[in-house]
Amino acid sequence: MRAFSLLDLSPITEGGDARQALMNSLDLARHAENLGYKRFWMAEHHNIASVASAATAVALGYIAAGTSKIRVAAGGVMLPNHAPLVIAEQFGTLATLYPDRVDLGLGRAPGTDGGTMTALRRDPMHAADHFPEDVRELQHYFGPVKPGQRVLAIPGAGLGVPIWLLGSSLYSAQLAAAMGLPFAFASHFAPAMLDRALHLYRTGFRPSEYLDKPYAAAAINVFAADSDEEGRRLMTTIEQQFIALHRGNPGPLKPPVDDMESVASRGERMQVTQALAESAVGSKESVAQWIDQFLARTQVDELIVTGAMYDHDARLYSFELAADVLRERIDG
């Protein structure tokens, strides 16, 4: 493993609000910077009452302004929701203000429900079909200005903002391989195809002007605490959130509970267990053992850790324990 990074959705908790969530994200980013995390990822999601990072470029600008060296990364921007030129201008602006600190991860999913997708997308029925062309258009805007080029991203032109492809299926793995781009898999909520996606990406990779060999990342959940029992209890917040999403009534993050049987059926708990299979939970020692097994299996170049929790101090401590483990596992 070459690096470790952190994904944050700026979680809104019961009794809290979006302003507090974003302020907590900045506090977490400063903490992550001091702990050795390379990147601070934020993701675009819409119409979800527990997520404050919908305007991802704006949120990342806030994080970058309040930190000094950690890279800020979209993990990701759902490109079919936007005109590529607009994203080039947004991230060109970030890269101009914070040189060599900005990464742009792209996804092709809507990041929301069907009704909100219709409100967002230029062409809700077919926008995702144009994802490869939209990626190439973005690359064009970030590339050197060509003679006679009439449409420029200002700022953005010539900045070469690094582009990643993100996904939770095999599609983006294959596209990233064909385009010679770094790839990150969302195994923290969609673990089923992780191993096959990494295999397809590595075996199909074609060197490009952007990358000479594959660079693969994968995301995991981490719920670390002083004991296995407390780590397991912290995880019940995200478990409740997954169940609420499945039931169609998501809201702000709820406090942890002592017993998930009191809030969910057996079938719901099984679904959540499958969705959150790639999770390191418990004491520092338990988390270290789990991470060692994951790294041995996947051989990822970068490990992305995430973990939505109700208590901000518990989240800071969890990522601190994770960093203690991960620093020892950096190659070289």
Is residue 263 packed enough to be buried (19+ CB in 10 Å), middle (13-18) or exposed (0-12)?
middle
Class of the CATH-defined domain 3-226+279-327: alpha beta
Q: What is the pLDDT of residue 122?
A: 61
What's the pLDDT at 121? 63
pLDDT at residue 111, rounded to an integer: 59
Q: Is the pTM of this model over 0.85?
A: yes
Amino acid at 22: L
Burial pattern 12-24, b for ≥16 Cβ within 10 A else e, equals bbeebeeeebbbb
pLDDT value for 48:
87
**CA 192/CA 168 separation, integer angstroms:** 9
* Cα 118 to Cα 95: distance, rounded to the nearest angstrom: 30
Element (H, E) at 78: strand 71-78
Using a 10 angstrom Cβ sphere, with 0-12 exposed, 13-18 middle and 19 or more buried, the burial of residue 266 is exposed
DSSP per-residue string spanning 102-117: EEEEEE-S-SS-HHHH
Residues of the chain with pLDDT under 50: none
Q: Rounded to the nearest 5°, which phi and psi values hold at 11?
A: -70, 135
> In this structure, are residues 181 and 163 in contact, taking their beta carbons and an 8 Å threshold?
yes
Return the number of other C-beta atoms located less than 10 Å from residue 125's C-beta. Answer: 9
Helical H segments across 11-163, by residue range: 18-35, 56-65, 84-97, 114-120, 131-142
Q: What is the pLDDT of residue 153?
A: 97
Residues 164 and 106: beta-carbon distance below 8 Å = yes
Domain ranges across the chain? 3-226+279-327
CA distances to 10, 26, 69, 91 from 36, in Å: 20, 15, 10, 24
- CA 64 to each of CA 41, 197, 332: distance values in angstroms, whole numbers, following the listed order: 11, 31, 28
CA distance 257 to 251: 16
